[in-house]
């Protein structure tokens, strides 16, 4: 049987690195740290080597389509596809950041929504039967959904929203922020929040598509919240360690063979949450 492989984006530090640490201990196969910066990625490999763990490394900048397609081709060629994909890479502006809101909206959605969607576009076709896909979203996305207009909430919660419609709505939010008309458009003042609303909705859309198009492949795809975790993103006052934050993403990445759920859900503390 061919070697299994797990790939974690943005895993040179923070929650991503902790996910790799746990997978190195619990996943039967090769585990890849991926990072946009080769130096930071190799440092991360060394840090886990010093814990007697043996992750591998591949460069992957999710904002660079060429980097995505190169990585996808590498995993297809070397492993015949990917068994576990954790889309963890993400960004957030600090609360104190003075960048204009429209810039924060454009930059945040670029990585958290559009680049993550590019990852999914190029990696979903190579996810192997029995595979697990985990998108690291946030509770902030659920809270932000509740702050959207009733019409937007209806679309974002509907079972028939398409990937194209969702991407159109995400782009509409970015465009409206440039004219400072996002509030009239039904959106709250929350760039990171809208990005995570989008990522959770995208996860549900793609899970429904998997069920339709690959019903016998047993692939499970979910979005999750890691909790409030002490990382460069959330700061030192957060309540969880990175290893604690990794628990729910790792639980979803290692759902046992033959499991049929959760699938297409938003999961926190290993529990399916309302959407």
**Binding site residues, ligand NDP, CB under 6 A:** 9-10, 12-16, 35-37, 40, 60-63, 88-92, 111, 115, 136, 138, 225-226, 228-229, 231-234, 238
Using the minimum distance from each CB to ligand NDP, give the nearer residue, 158 or 239. 239
- How many angstroms separate the CA atoms of 151 and 162, rounded? 16
Using the minimum distance from each CB to ligand NDP, give the nearer residue, 181 or 232. 232
Tokens of 263: 């699938």
| DSSP structural state of residue 271 | E
Cβ pair 149, 186 in contact under 8 A: yes
Annotation says 192 is catalytic: yes
Which alpha helices (H) appear in the chain, and where do they start and end?
14-26, 38-49, 65-79, 101-109, 116-123, 139-147, 150-157, 163-178, 191-213, 242-245, 247-253
What angle in degrees, to the nearest 10, is found between the helix axes of 191-213 and 116-123?
10
- How many angstroms separate the CA atoms of 266 and 252, rounded? 11
Residue matched to tokens 């198009």? 213
Using the minimum distance from each CB to ligand NDP, give the nearer residue, 138 or 177. 138
Cβ within 8 Å of residue 243, ≥6 positions away: 18, 21, 22
The β-bridge partners of 35 are 59
Provide the minimum distance between the beta carbon of 117 and ligand NDP in the complex, in angstroms, as a whole number.
13
Q: Which of 32, 79, 192, 251 is catalytic?
A: 192
Catalytic residues: 192
């Amino acid at each position: 049987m061919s070697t299994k492989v797990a790939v974690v984006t943005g895993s040179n530090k923070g929650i991503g690195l902790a996910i790799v640490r746990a997978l190195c201990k619990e996943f039967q196969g090769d585990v890849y740290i991926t990072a946009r910066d080769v130096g930071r990625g190799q440092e991360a490999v060394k840090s886990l080597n010093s814990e007697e763990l043996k992750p591998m490394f591949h460069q992957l900048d999710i904002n660079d389509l060429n980097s995505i397609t190169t990585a996808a081709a590498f995993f297809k060629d070397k492993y015949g596809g990917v068994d576990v994909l954790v889309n963890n890479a993400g960004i957030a502006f600090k609360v104190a950041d003075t960048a204009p809101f429209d810039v924060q909206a454009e930059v945040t959605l670029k990585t958290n929504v559009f680049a993550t969607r590019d990852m999914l576009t190029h990696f979903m076709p190579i996810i192997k039967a029995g595979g697990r896909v985990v998108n690291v979203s946030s509770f902030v996305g659920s809270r932000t959904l509740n702050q959207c207009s009733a019409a937007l909430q209806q679309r974002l919660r509907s079972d028939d929203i398409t990937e194209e419609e969702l991407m159109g709505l995400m782009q509409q939010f970015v465009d409206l922020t440039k004219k400072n008309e996002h509030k009239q458009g039904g959106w709250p003042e929350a760039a990171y929040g809208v990005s995570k609303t989008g990522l959770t909705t995208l996860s549900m859309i793609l899970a429904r598509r998997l069920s339709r198009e690959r019903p016998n492949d047993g692939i499970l795809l979910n979005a999750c919240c890691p909790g409030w975790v002490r990382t460069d993103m959330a700061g030192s006052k957060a309540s969880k360690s990175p290893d604690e934050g990794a628990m729910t993403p790792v639980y979803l990445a290692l759902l046992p063979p033959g499991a049929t759920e959760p699938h297409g859900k938003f999961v926190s503390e290993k529990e399916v949450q309302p959407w």
